[in-house]
Amino acid sequence: MKYAIAMLLVGGVMVRSASAEIIITTDTTLDFFIGLREGPVIIRDGPAGPTTVDIVDGANIQPGVIAKERSVLNLRGGITERGVGGNDQSTINIFGGLVGGEDVVVRGQSTANIYGGIFGDDISAEDSAVVNLYGGTFEKAGNGASLGVSEDGVINVFGSNFVIDPDPPGSPLPRLQGVLSDGSPLDVFLNIFDANSGITQIVLHEIPEPSAFCLCSIGLFLLLVYRRPLREGRDDSF
C-alpha cells in the first residue's frame, strides 16, 4: 500500500507526513506534544544540508525519534517515550531529558555523545556506530541496565573507579561499576555480541588522567560471554 506524502504544520514546524511518520528536514526546536501511536519522528537532511533538531523541556514525544543521513539531534530536555536512534552519519548529543523505550540505539556510522539525561534500560552501538558516554543516569542501574555492542560497534565510557565483575551472581553477562565523568554512578551489565571481529568493544577511559587509555577491551572476557542478540523482540525501526 502506498501513502501520499502531505505537508502539515506540527507545533509551528513544517514537516512531511507519510502514513504515521513525521519527517523533519528543517532546523527546528521541539517543545510540544507529539502523540503518534505508530511510526517514528525522522530527521533527515534538507535542501540546504544537514538538519539540526533540538528537543527541549516541554516536549513529550511518544514515538521514537530517529536521526538519519548527516542530521544532528540535540536532546536537552523533555521526554522521548520510545527512545532515540541514529543511522547513517548522524550525530546525537544528549544533555538532559528522559529517554524511554528502546533508549539509545545507534547504527551505521552514526555517533552518540551522552553527557546527561535519564535512561531506562540500554545504550547500544551496532554496525560500526560509536557511543561516547560521559554522564547520565540509568533508572535500572544494577537491575537490568546494559551497554550493548555488536557488529564493530564501540562504546567509550569516560569516568573513574571502574570495577568489572566477569561473573556476577545471577547473570551471564559481566557487570561494570564505577563513576561517570559527570559524577553519576554507573552500574550496568555488558552485552557484547560478535566480539571476535576485533573491533567490537567497550573501552573504559579513566578520567581525569590526561591521556585516556583503554583499561580493557571487554572482548577479552568473551571466553565466558553469553552470546545472545542485544535485545529480544526489540523495535528494529531504528
Per run of 10 residues, the mean pLDDT along the chain (length 238 residues) is: 36 51 93 80 94 96 94 97 95 96 90 94 92 92 83 94 91 92 94 66 80 43 42 51
Q: Is residue 61 part of a domain?
A: yes
Alpha-carbon separation of residue 23 from 27, 30, 121, 202, 205 (angstroms): 12, 13, 27, 33, 37
The domain total for the chain is 1
pTM: 0.80
Q: Is residue 234 part of a domain?
A: no
Q: What is the pLDDT of residue 23?
A: 92
Q: What is the pLDDT of residue 151?
A: 84
Q: What is the pLDDT of residue 198?
A: 56
Q: Is residue 210 part of a domain?
A: yes
Residues spanned by the domain of 219: 25-223
Q: How many CA atoms lie within 13 A of 231 on its CB side?
A: 23
Q: What is the pLDDT of residue 237?
A: 56
Q: Is residue 130 part of a domain?
A: yes
Q: Is residue 9 part of a domain?
A: no
What's the burial of 220, exposed, middle or buried (CB within 10 Å: 0-12/13-18/19+)? exposed
Q: What distance in Å separates the CA atoms of residue 113 and residue 103, rounded to the nearest whole number? A: 14
Q: Is residue 140 part of a domain?
A: yes
Q: What is the pLDDT of residue 144?
A: 76
Residue with cell 531506562: 120
Q: What distance in Å separates the CA atoms of residue 155 and residue 160, rounded to the nearest whole number? A: 16
Q: Is residue 47 part of a domain?
A: yes
Q: Is residue 12 part of a domain?
A: no
Q: How many CA atoms lie within 13 A of 76 on its CB side?
A: 12
